[in-house]
Structure 1
Amino acid sequence: MKLKIISVVLLLVFYNSYAQVGINTETPLTTLDVTAKNPSGTGTNVEGMLIPRIDRQKAQSMAAIPVSTLIYISNATTGSAAGSAVNIDTVGYYFYNGTVWVKLDTNIYNVDGSLAGNRVVSQNANTLSFTGTAVNAFSIDGSTFSVNAAANRVGIGTNNPSTVFEVVGGHGGEMRVSSGTGNSRWGFETRDNTGPGGSDVLNITNRSDANNVRAMTFASNGNAYIGGGLVNDQGANYALITVDNVNSNVKIGDTPNGGADMKLVVNPGNSTTSGAGIQVTQGDVYVQNSKYGIILKSPNGSCRRVTMNDLGVLTTSAVITCP
């Protein structure tokens, strides 16, 4: 009996002196130092420490819980995910943060989270792959960028692309591919501005600012404008060639909206100097139907048609309505 009392006294003196407790060690290094009895070898004895195992209802019912209390939820179907147990949805380790139980397993595959600062992933020679089967399997900011893994599609501006690659944008430019920056860049873009033939569908251009010069423009009404410095979608500088789908004709240098009755309209410009509107460097100009010819306009504004009879004599018809 005396020996037991002496042992207890010595233990208390040791504890009070060092405020440290050791299990399986006489020299604890921390407040509580649990050392494995057999830290190596092939022994079958179980080493470790068991955290109290309780169900969710018990964790939800406890009161006056000290901060940092650690438990293991062995059954997450009892009680409800509310109150202090709002985060308890699966079995696992939880600690108490003063308000609720917090799951220790916080990897991105099981719970949501927020970055506390900028992060950089250095892949080096390693690859990073994502696999999925959902419509919106991977996305950035909702529909800013979305991958439809179910149909192998990519969407920008939509989280459910209907084609292999779909871009949905607003007024002022839906998609742009450019060779660089500044006014000397070349590329193509889709736009939604009001142009000479309605809203533009596709522009091939050498600039992308407010006064860009188009090399080619395809409009929503089916018209196509090629070259000529079409400025700011308004046709201030006429296109070299306009394919007018609305009037079923082709215009060279003419206003995009003029010459509806003509299949080919040529306007070399408003210059007063002499010069040919059409020049054939090599080859013939052929009028197949004999009832047609060349219409000329006189200084007084009247028009006559020049044709040829079977004897090769050129004749002019009566005054006709000018085109």
Structure 2
Amino acid sequence: MKFLILATVMSCASLISYGQVGINTQLPQALLDIEVSDPSAPDATDGILIPRVSAFPAVDPDASQDGMLVYLTTTTGNSTPGFYYWNGAITQWCKLMTENAMMMCSIAGIGLGASGTIFNFDNIRFSSIQGANFVGNELMLPPGVYEIESDLRLNPNVAIEWNMRLNGTIYPGSIPGSSVSAVALLNTSTNPQRAIVTITSTSGGIDFEVTNGLGASLISDCSYLKITKLQ
């Protein structure tokens, strides 16, 4: 019995001093080393499940939990589903992002009507935003936080203002765009429309409305819409 107790103590001491744990391997190459049986043909269960939460803790973590990782399963406020870590330096949950998804659209050289005219940039040149698609005149975007910028290039002697709409209503957080042309120098003054938009429902549709002006003719392929998915 004394030998068994001594062997157990020595074994635990060895584990503590060595400090490396291997799963499916006897030669761990890090503090925690997990290997699958067949990397070229993994099973559906070959992975790590990070704790899943539908809301962030009501009480913020403390300094000892800096870097703690969770997976948010539902949209909570401005936070969309994804991996989040606790950033103790700024005391907030920060989303892990590998890269920003983007979309670029243009609009043909058409004529736009006076105030109240609804239009969109329907010629998609590039898109890596999964789930983005047109339904009628609206560009539908999946839940997330987006940075949106649009610009109109006009033919001479006209001035126009426009703004972005979300689900049929001008978005209050959007900065309207304005464009003024001249006879000699096209677009001597232009201010793009800009907005940061949070979509929390299943999807949200965006389009644009002429808010001031008597109408304008666009220069072909010189007007654009740029969307960047931030979260």
- TM-score scaled to structure 2, two decimals? 0.42
Radius of gyration: which is bigger? 1
- TM-score scaled to structure 1, two decimals? 0.32
More strand by share: 2
